[in-house]
Structure 1
Amino acid sequence: MKRKHKILISIFTVFMLCVLTISAQTSPIYNLSFEKKGINLAAPLNWEAVGNAHDISLDSANSIDEKYSLSVKSKSGKANTNDAFLLTNRIRAKPFIGSNFKLSGNIRTLNCREGYAQLYVIVQKNGLTIQSVYSWEQRITGTTDWTKNEISIKIDSLADDIVLGMMFRGSRQAWFDDLKIYRNDVLVDEEKIYPAKLNAAEQDWLNLHIIPLPTMVSSKPEEQPDWNEYFGDAKIIGLGEFSHTTSEVFTAKAGIIKSLISKNQLKIIAWESGFAEAEIFNKCLQTKGCDVKSSFKKMITGPWNNAEVLDLLQWIQNYNATAEKPVQFVGFDMQKYKTAFDRLMHFAAAKNNKLLINRLEKYQY
C-alpha cells in the first residue's frame, strides 16, 4: 500500500497549540507602558518585533511614563525607507466590538531622515485584515520632542483580533511611550477589561478540546512518542508556539519534525519564510556539502533564525543525502521583496519580455 505523506506547516503565529498554558487566575497583559520585560530583556513583554535593520531596547533615560520607553535605533546611519521596523501587540476584539477604539501614544525622534515614526491599528478576522488605520497625517520626522499620536476606528462586528502597532522607517532613532487605549473615549483599564476567571462554559470547552502532550525536551527522533496517536491520518499538520524566543519550544518542534521525517511520513515543510528565499535555500538542503549555516543566515530571518532551527535544517540536509525522496522546504510568505523582484527580473530577461522588464523597472527598489 502506498504510504501517505504529511505536509508540515511550521508557522510562527499560533496555528495549532503544541503547548498550551492556561491560567484561569490571571488577566491578559497589554503592557502599554513597556514596564514588563520580555524573555530576551530587550523587547517588552507581549510585544513582537518585526524587522532586522533596527535594534530595540527599553530606555530608562528617555521615558515620560513610569520607568521605560521603547527605543528603536537603525543599525546603519544610512536612510532607507524600505527598512521598516514594526512592534505589534495582539489583543482580543470582543470587548471593543461596535465601539469607537482609540490608540494614543507619545513618539520622539532623533534625526529621522527620509522616514517617519507612527502608530497604527489593524483589525482582523481569522488572521485576515478587515480594517486598518494609520496616523499618516501625524507622522513624526526629523528631530522632535515627545509628540502625541492618536488614531481611532470603529471596530467591526466580525472582528476577533486587534493589532496595536508602532512603525519606524528611515535612519537614526525613535522612542515610543505611554500608549493608552480608549473605548468610546473612556480610558481602558487592562485589569478590568477581562474577567479574572474563566466561566463554566469556557472551562468546559477547554476541557473538551485540549489534548495534553507529553513533556518534550529532546530534539532526537528516537526519543519521541508515537505522534500518529495525536495526528492520526492528517495530511497537513500545523505547528505553532506560545513564544517566539523559547529554546525548549523550538527543540520540541524539531523533535516532532525529525520523528515524522525518520518514519517517512513527512516530505514537505512549509515555513513562514519568503517564498523566493525558501526556494533558494531548498536547493542547499538538496545539495550535499552546501553550507547550510551560511545560506540559513541569508535566507531565513526573524525569530526562527536560531541555533535550534539551524540544527534541524542541517539534520534535514544530512537526511536528504541518502533519502530516496528528499524532504522539500518551501516558503509561504513575502518578507523581503528584493529576492523575489530579482528572480522575476531574471525571468523576464530570460524570456526577453520587454514589456514586463519595462514595468518592473518602474518599480525598481
Structure 2
Amino acid sequence: LLGEATHGTYEFYRERAEITKRLIKEKGFIAVAVEADWPDAFRVNRYVRGLGQDKNANEALGGFKRFPTWMWRNTVVLEFVEWLREYNASLPSNAGRVGFYGLDLYSLYTSIEAVLNYLNKIDPDAAKRARYRYSCFEHFGEDTQAYGYAATFDMTESCEGEVIDQLIELRRRAGDYASR
C-alpha cells in the first residue's frame, strides 16, 4: 500500500504504479492493497486474474461510482490494471496470481449484499446465518454514520461481535467454498 501526498496528482499516481510494478516483478509481491471499497476493488481483482465478465480495465473499474471516482478511474490506474492482467496471464499456470484488494468499507451495505449474494449461491444455510448476523444494522437503514455514532456513544449495542462471527465463519469455510 503506497500512498500519495495528494489525491489526484498524476505524478504520484504514475510513480506509485511504477513502484508497484517493480515490487511485483522484482520482489515477488502478490497483493496490491488500495484505499478503495472492497466490492469495487474485488471486481478489478477478478478482472486482473482473468475471471469475471468485464472485457477491459475500464469495465472492471466501473464499480467505482462514488466520489471521488477520479481516484481510480484515471489513465494511470487503467493502464496499471491492464498491465496487471497481462502480467498475471504471463505467469505459469501453477504460479499464484497477483490480487487487487480494497481496504475501505465505506460501502457497508454493498459489502453485506456482496457477502449475501455469494453465500446464497454456494451455501444458502450460511446465507441465513449471515443475514441474521447482519440484521443488527437494519434499524439504522442505509445510514451507516448513524450506526457509527450510536455504537460509539453506547446508544446501541455494537454489531462488532456479529460481524466478527461472520468473518470467522467465512474464513473457516473458505477452502470448502473455493472447491465448489
TM-score (norm 2): 0.59
Q: CA deviation at 1:312?
A: 0.9
CA contact 2:37–2:103 (8 Å) conserved in 1 = yes
The alignment of Structure 1 onto Structure 2 pairs a total of residues equal to: 128
CA contact 2:32–2:100 (8 Å) conserved in 1 = yes
Residue 38 (structure 2) pairs with residue 275 (structure 1):
yes
CA contact 2:38–2:105 (8 Å) conserved in 1 = yes
User: Where does the alignment leave 5 or more consecutive residues of structure 2 unmatched?
Assistant: 143-180
Q: CA deviation at 1:315?
A: 0.7
CA contact 2:41–2:101 (8 Å) conserved in 1 = yes
Aligned mates of 1:266, 1:355 — CA distance in 2: 35
Residue 4 (structure 2) pairs with residue 241 (structure 1):
yes
CA contact 2:43–2:63 (8 Å) conserved in 1 = no
Q: CA deviation at 1:360?
A: 6.9
Cα separation, partners in 2 of 1:347 and 1:258, compared to 1, 3 Å: closer
> Structure 2 matches for 1:320-335, cutoff 5 A?
320-323=88-91, 324-335=95-106
More helix by share: 2
Deviations 1:13-37, CA, capped at 9 Å, x for gaps: xxxxxxxxxxxxxxxxxxxxxxxxx
Q: 2:13 aligns with which of 247, 250, 255?
A: 250
Cα separation, partners in 2 of 1:355 and 1:265, compared to 1, 3 Å: closer
Identity of aligned residues (%): 23
Q: CA deviation at 1:354?
A: 4.1
Whose radius of gyration is greater, 1 or 2?
1
Indicate the residue corresponding to 2:82 in structure 1.
314
Aligned mates of 1:361, 1:305 — CA distance in 2: 31
> Structure 2 matches for 1:50-199, cutoff 5 A?
none
Residue 57 (structure 2) pairs with residue 292 (structure 1):
yes
Q: CA deviation at 1:328?
A: 1.0
Range with greater deviation from structure 2 (334-343 or 268-277): 334-343
User: Where does the alignment leave 5 or more consecutive residues of structure 1 unmatched?
Assistant: 1-8, 10-238
Cα separation, partners in 2 of 1:353 and 1:329, compared to 1, 3 Å: closer
TM-score (norm 1): 0.31
Q: CA deviation at 1:305?
A: 2.7
Matched to 1:307, the amino acid is: T
Aligned mates of 1:252, 1:262 — CA distance in 2: 15
Deviations 1:117-140, CA, capped at 9 Å, x for gaps: xxxxxxxxxxxxxxxxxxxxxxxx
Aligned mates of 1:275, 1:250 — CA distance in 2: 20
CA contact 2:58–2:73 (8 Å) conserved in 1 = no
Q: CA deviation at 1:357?
A: 3.1
Q: CA deviation at 1:321?
A: 0.7
Indicate the residue corresponding to 2:131 in structure 1.
357
Q: CA RMSD in A?
A: 2.8
Deviations 1:266-294, CA, capped at 9 Å, x for gaps: 21111111123322321111017742211
Matched to 1:291, the amino acid is: N
